[in-house]
Each structure stands twice: as structure tokens, then as C-alpha cells.
Amino acid sequence: MSELERLTPKAAKRGRTLIAALLALPAVLALLAAAPAAAQGATGADHCVVNLVTDEVSCAATQAAAFAEDRAASADAGVLADTTLITLYDRTNYDPAGGTRSFVATDHTCTAAYSPVEFSVDYLDAAGWNNRASSVRTFRQCDIKLWDTVTLSGASSTWIDALANLGTIGWSNRAGSYQIS
């Protein structure tokens, strides 16, 4: 249970991205039940891909290997989940050497508006990512907001499109949870 990373698609409740929500919701529920599969240590150069569609968290020694493992898991499940929404980097300047954590869904583009929030990810401590991210990239029109605690509470950052050094806004090694919109 300690390895659990809970994912909640807020957009599903608003019905804004209906197809994405229909695809994502069962995966979220399944992921909640599949906590032991999401195991990954808190130290070392680990790379993980969190897949909303297959419920899998694929981890490997390199970022490329983690994505390859995720693609294989998607193929085995008969789904296509090839859209990376965000990547967190342990190090600054998008340097993957310290470890990465990416969030992948099926063909999803974020809405231009920040409200409603489209995905919320809490308890980064369970994934070994509390107070760890030092740079972040987003894709598919998504932005990310970081929260100080693991429960999407306390202080939060501005919405970030990409930032090579989160320290410039006081958010290096600080985020415990995040939202995507």
C-alpha cells in the first residue's frame, strides 16, 4: 500500500474530455487496487512511466527502456497509450541522469484553460518522488502545478509549462503532489 500513487482525473467529473475520461477512469480505479505493482525505490537513477490506461508503472534503468517497457505493456493490453503529458526530472536542465517520472495517457491534449484541473497526482512519497523534482517538462498543451504537501494542499506553484530549474521559483526538491491541466 505504501507504493501507491493515487491518480484522479478531475476532468472526468466535469465531462469535458469525455473520451479521455471514459478511458482513464477504469484505469485509475484499477491502479488504486494494484499498488504493489507500482514499486520503485526512492534512491538511485530510476526511470518510471506511469500509464493511466494499462494501470502499469513501468520502471527501468534508463528513460528509453522505461518507455519501451511501457509500450510493450500497452501492446500486451491491446491499447495505445502513447501520449506523454509530463515528465519530472530529479536533476535540473531536464538531465535524466538522476531519474525521471513520466505520466502517460491515451491520445490526450490538455484544454487551454487551467480550470477544471484534468489530472491530480498525490502521494509522490509512495513513488520515491517527494521533494525530488528539480526540472519539469509538459507536453500536449498541458501545464503542471506543484503542491508542497503530498495531499495537494499547502503552498502551490504557479502553472508551469516547462522549467529547467525549479529552484528559480523556489520549487526545487519541494513538490509532494501535482496537478495537470
Among 134, 135, 157, 179, binds Ca ion (CB under 5 A): 134
Among 5, 69, 70, 90, binds Ca ion (CB under 5 A): 90
Round to whole Å and give the CA distance between 114 and 92: 25
Nearer to Ca ion, 47 or 132 (CB): 132
Site string for Ca ion, 30-59 (x = CB under 5 A): ------------------------------
DSSP E strand boundaries for the chain: 7-8, 47-51, 57-60, 83-89, 100-105, 119-121, 135-138, 144-147, 162-163, 177-180
Round to whole Å and give the CA distance between 93 and 3: 28
Is residue 115 within 8 A of residue 69, CB to CB? The reply is: no
- The bridge status of strand 144-147 relative to strand 119-121 is unpaired
Give, for 85, the enclosing helix (H) or strand (E).
Answer: strand 83-89
Round to whole Å and give the CA distance between 122 and 3: 12
> Which range in 14-22, 117-125, 128-136, 163-171 contacts Ca ion by CB under 5 A?
128-136
Nearer to Ca ion, 59 or 81 (CB): 59
Site string for Ca ion, 141-180 (x = CB under 5 A): --------------------------------x-------
Nearer to Ca ion, 90 or 143 (CB): 90
Q: Which residue number places its CB atom closest to Ca ion?
A: 134
Nearer to Ca ion, 92 or 111 (CB): 92
Contact positions toward Ca ion, by CB under 5 A? 90, 132, 134, 173
